Amino acid sequence: MANIKRFTTVQRLSHFVLILTFMLLSVTGLAWMYIETGWGQGLANLFGGYIAVLEVHRITGLILLIGFALHIGYMLYNINWHGLPKSILGPDSLVFQKKDWLDFVQHLRWIVGLSKEPRFERWSWWEKFDYWAVWWGLLIVGVTGLMLYNPVLSSDYMPGWLLNIAVWVHRIEALLAMAHIFTIHFFVEHFRPRCFPFSATMFEGSKDIEHLRQEHPAWVERMEREGHLADVLVPPVPVPLRILHFVTGYALIALGVFLLVYAIINVTYLTLAF
Amino acid sequence: MHLRRNSRYLLTLLLCLGILMPAAVSAADEEHPYEAASSGYFRDQDILPGGYSLYRQDEAGRLWGGPSGGDIKRASFQADAHEGLDGYGRRSCVSCHETERYSLHTSRGNTSCVQCHRDKPIAGLYQYYSPMNPIRRHAYICAKCHEGSTASFATYVVHEPRPLKRDTAESFPLFYYAVWFMVILAVGVFAVFLPYVTLWGVRELIEMRSKGGGHNG
């Protein structure tokens, strides 16, 4: 049995850096937001208390933004500028196209049993959505985060009352991102029956061909038709590495679920007023 | 004997009070860690384009949906906002000012009311010599903890209104609409995806049951 290569090392590394910074920002951000509760103080103490946790949050945020800038550079570098606009509208592109919308509708109809399963190309509509959701999330959280990084400095360039708005927008977007990752993303990528208990594609870079025939049939067929399926076949990842991925993955999932559950339990103790 | 025991109680009580009282008073007047870290430096020159004017900030604020400055009462112009108020000395600030009880500064930044409302007696916000007067608020109040504070910075609304409340649409429109927009975005995402993925999971489960095995089987 063989695997099909799906992600390059740089892409996997980017995803892993995203995981690490996202988790660190979640922990420190929730510690900040929940500092009035014992849970929040406990989280903050892991980093050496309230003042320290704010500093860690700020610096991690900067690292994530630098990573985002690097990703944009990587993307611009990889675009085939001569072939525009066709080069970004092909089946390997993450840009939303008409087919994604049709796929989405058909997927919905398939779920309720009204139609056959859509035959996804390289990226399904939800994979594209997940990719662009990080963009939109990072733009919102990044801009407001930079505004709050040094409120005195930023109010040189805008009226100080924009900070009131920035705090809330930052907070709601961050909660949305965490809740989305810790429920919907985890479910779709790992807990959905076809992927359960763990889908390691983004860690290993490749996925078992049978699984891809089911999830991305149009992609596999296109490669077969064009005759370069053999170029993307790689051997399965060795077992010790797979165990490592599984354990790391589940540790991160557990952390996410822990944050989500405790954030919900403790929410009534917050004095934030909507 | 009887009297002596009483007076002993009294003495003990006084002693306790004597120990507790200064502590209680100084706890309120205590220096905030941020205060120790700030030199108190402030800037009167704003560098906002067009020269952010202190005297026109209300106008500018209204134009862009900023805060309207809240209610202005008679007390706002008094040198002692609590002049002639019954029971002022015996009650805590928040027992009268319930709406100002919680703010980011008090519930998270661990600042007490009097670390900002530090003049004695507390003057009305717009009294000419009040340290809270917007013409000097940044210098007399905010710079104590936020070094380099400017008038623009001091337009941050410390006691912000509840963002989702109807009244806020008038008192701070941009705040109201921005927060509502974010809430609708967040709720919308979950309203769509939670049912979606649940049904999706059920669909795959049914498919597997009928095929009698996993995707590899």
DSSP chain A: --EEE-S-HHHHHHHHHHHHHHHHHHHHHHHHHTTTSHHHHHHHHTTTSHHHHHHHHHHHHHHHHHHHHHHHHHHHHHS-STTTTGGGSSTT--S--HHHHHHHHHHHHHHTTSSPPP---SS-HHHHHHHHHHHHHHHHHHHHHHHHHSHHHHTTTS-TTHHHHHHHHHHHHHHHHHHIIIIIIHIIIIISTTTTT---HHHHSEEEHHHHHHHSHHHHHHHHHHT-TGGGEEPPPPHHHHHHHHHHHHHHHHHHHHHHHHHHHHGGG-----
Q: Residues of B with CB below 8 A from A194's CB?
A: 204, 208, 214-215
Nearest to A152 among B148, B175, B204 (CB): B148
Q: What is the CA radius of gyration of chain B?
A: 27
Check if the beta carbon of residue B172 is closer than 8 Å to that of residue A164.
yes
Give the mean pLDDT of chain B. 78
> Position A31: which residue type?
A
Q: What is the pTM of this model?
A: 0.90
A233-234 β-sheet, strand order: A206-208, A3-5, A233-234
B152–A159 CB contact, under 8 Å:
yes
**Closest C-alpha to A120, from A128, A112, A130, A131:** A128
Q: What is the CATH number of the domain that holds A145?
A: 1.20.950.20
Which chain A residue is nearest to residue B103, measuring alpha carbons?
Answer: A272
Are the CB atoms for B65 and B121 separated by under 8 Å?
no
Q: What is the 3-state secondary structure (H, E, C) of chain B?
A: CHHHHHHHHHHHHHHHHHHHHHHHHHHHHCCCHHHHHCCCCECCCCCCCCCCCHHHHHHHHHHCCCCCCCCCCHHHHCCCCCCCCCCHHHCCHHHHCHHHCCCHHHHHCCCCHHHHCCCCCCCCCCCCCCCCCCCCHHHHCHHHCCCCECCCHHHCCCCCCCCCCCCHHHHCHHHHHHHHHHHHHHHHHHHHHHHHHHHHHHHHHHHHHHHCCCCCC
Q: Token pair for residue A119?
A: 């035959």
CA closest to B187 among chain A residues: A176
Asked if pLDDT for residue B169 goes beyond 60, the answer is yes
Output the pLDDT for position B21.
Answer: 41
Chain B touched by A76 (CB under 8 Å)? no
Q: Which residue has the higher pLDDT, B11 or B206?
A: B206
Q: How confident is the model at residue B192 (pLDDT cuts 50, 70, 90)?
A: very high
Q: What is the extent of the structural domain holding A20?
A: 3-273
Q: Which residue has the tokens 């089911």?
A: A214
Query: Quick one: closest CA in B to A187, which residue?
Result: B197
Model confidence over B108-150: pLDDT tens digits? 888 888 888 988 888 888 888 888 888 888 889 999 999 989 8
Count: domains in chain A: 1
Q: List chain A residues with CB under 8 Å of B162.
A: 273-274
With contact defined as beta carbons under 8 Å apart, do A161 and B157 qualify? yes
- For residue A272, the model assigns a pLDDT of 80
More confident residue, A55 or B1: A55
Q: pLDDT tens, B3-60?
A: 455 555 544 544 444 444 433 343 456 778 888 888 878 877 666 654 455 555 566 6
State the Cα–Cα distance between residues A168 and A173, nearest whole angstrom.
Answer: 8
CA distances from A258 to A34, A39, A125, A150, B187 (A): 14, 11, 29, 31, 22
pLDDT, tens digit, for every residue of A43-95? 999 999 998 999 999 999 999 999 999 999 999 999 989 988 888 898 889 99
Question: What's the pLDDT band for B83 if we cut at 50, 70, 90?
Answer: confident
Tell me if chain B has a CB within 8 Å of the CB of A172. Answer: yes
**In this complex, do A160 and B172 lie within 8 Å of one another by their Cβ atoms?**
no
Interface with A, mutate which of B182, B204, B207 (most A CBs under 10 A): B182
Q: Find the residue in B nearest to A196 (Cα).
A: B214
Q: For the CA atoms of A168, A178, A10, A12, what is the dihedral angle to 10 degrees?
A: 180
Is the CB of residue A133 less than 8 Å from the CB of residue A180? yes
Tell me the ipTM for this assembly. 0.92
> What's the pLDDT tens digit per position in B50-62?
445 555 556 666 6
Task: Please tell me the predicted confidence (pLDDT) of residue A85.
Answer: 85
Q: Do A161 and B172 touch (CB under 8 A)?
A: yes
- Please state the separation of Cα A67 from the chain's center in Å: 13
User: Which residues in chain A are closer than 8 Å to B189, comparing Cβ atoms?
Assistant: 176, 180
Residue B115's CB is within 10 A of a number of other CB atoms, namely 21
- Residues in chain A where the model's pLDDT stays below 50: none
pLDDT above 90 covers what percent of chain B? 26
Helices A9-33, A50-78: crossing angle, 10 deg rounding = 150
**A116 touches B at CB < 8 Å:** no
| Beta-strand pair A233-234/A206-208 | unpaired
Hey, are the CB atoms on A273 and B193 less than 8 Å from each other? no
Q: Are A36 and B108 within 8 A, CB to CB?
A: yes
With CA atoms as reference, the chain B residue closest to A170 would be B182
